[in-house]
Structures are given as structure tokens and as C-alpha cells.
Amino acid sequence: MKFTRFAPIAALLVGVLALTAVACGGDDKDKVANAAETATTTQAPTNTPTEAPPTPTATPTPFDGNVARFKIPRFGVDAPIELLGVDETNTMETPQDENTAVGWYHIYDRPGWHGNSIFSAHVYYHNVPAPFVSLADSQVGDTVIITMEDGTEYTYEVFSNERYHRDTIPMGDIIWPQDRPEGEEWVTLITCGGELDSTGWEYISRDVVVAKRVS
């Protein structure tokens, strides 16, 4: 926001000497003449220029490109990013590079833009550990680092770790949390958790870890 400062306008003040003539003797005339010769005019004050306020530095626009890498130092995670969306049934996609990539749902918020960015990854795939194999063990204060394609890095700290049943998980509230303070930036990490169902292939729960940006 720019502010303009206006210098006050000073009124010109002129001193006036009023002379009174008294009809007396010759000495009075001399006094009047001498007074007229010594009369002076008060000079108007000179205005001192006011310095203009400094121009505010504009906040740089965040990078508008994609996420490049995802890190959780505590668990040794340093993974490439796979762009995800939803399929024709409006179901959230999962990474196709199952044991390597972390998926970023680019259809939702972007890191750096003060929203809530959504990521997911597998726990295991074909009995091989995947990037989020240890996500359920996340603790408050754990660090999550997001690196953008231009090299910009954002750091987040975990403050929430919840487990939901897959049939009742409130995905709308998780993607668009109503309790996120205005201007606070989050990342939400989602993976499978808990026990396997009767098929022996699908987990019955979902682990959801949320972290807020600290730098």
C-alpha cells in the first residue's frame, strides 16, 4: 500500500509597522521620518522539502510450475514427483511408479500459494517398500521438504497424524480443511494403513499426515 505525504502550506506573514503622526513641533516630524527609514518587513519562512516515503518492495509471485521432489528427512524419503488427478469415476489416482514416486494432485492447491497441497504414495507395492512405508510413524515436528522445478524449496512441520476408515474418510474436509487459518499453508499426505481386508490386497484404513509451512 502506498502512502503520499503532503507538506503543509505556510501562509505568508508580512510585518506591518503603523506610524502615527502627531501635529506638534519640528522634532516630532523628525521622529516620524526616522521611524519610516527604519521600518522593516518580516520575511516569509522558507518551506523545507519533505522526503518522499520509500517505495514498498513488492512481494514476489510464487513459482507457478510443478513440484519436482518430495523429502521426509527423518525417514530417508527423497522421491520424484508424479502428477496425479482423478479418474472418470472421480476417484483420486495413485502413483503408477508405485515403489518410487510420490504423487502430487496438481488439480488442487500448489505449494507456495498459501493453500493446502495434497500428496499420496504407496506403503508397499508387490511386497516392496514404497515412499510412505513409514508415514504412519510421523510425529509432531517432523520435517517435510517440497522442491519445485525452479529449485525453490518449501519446508513444513508435521502437526497432525490421523487414521480413518477407508469407507468414512472425510475427503472433502481433508482436501479443503475448514479449520486451516487464513494465510497458513499446509501439505496433506495420504497413504494406506492399518490391516488388510478379507481379500488380502487392500488396506481398510487411510493415514493422513498434515504439516504447515515454516519457511
Domain ranges within the chain, ordered by starting residue: 67-213
| Mean pLDDT of the 59-66 span | 88
Is residue 74 pLDDT above 90, yes or no? yes
CATH homologous superfamily for 67-213? Sortase (2.40.260.10)
Opening angle at CA 180, ends 175 and 183, nearest 5: 110
| Mean pLDDT of the 79-97 span | 96
pLDDT score for 137: 98
**pLDDT bracket for residue 134 (50, 70, 90):** very high
**Residue 131 burial (10 A CB sphere; 0-12, 13-18, 19+):** buried
What is the separation, in whole angstroms, between the first and last Cα of the chain? 24
| Mean pLDDT of the 52-60 span | 67
Q: Residue 11 and residue 41: Cα distance in Å, rounded?
A: 15
| Mean pLDDT of the 139-149 span | 98
Instruction: Please provide residue 153's backbone torsions phi and psi, each rounded to the nearest 5 degrees.
Output: -120, 140
pLDDT score for 203: 95
Q: Residue 199 and residue 69: Cα distance in Å, rounded?
A: 33
Closest to 158 in 3D by CA, of 144, 177, 179: 144
pLDDT score for 60: 79
Residue 145's DSSP bridge partners are: 71, 155
Is residue 39 pLDDT above 80, yes or no? no
Least confident of 57-61, 102-106, 170-174: 57-61
* pTM for the predicted model, two decimal places: 0.73
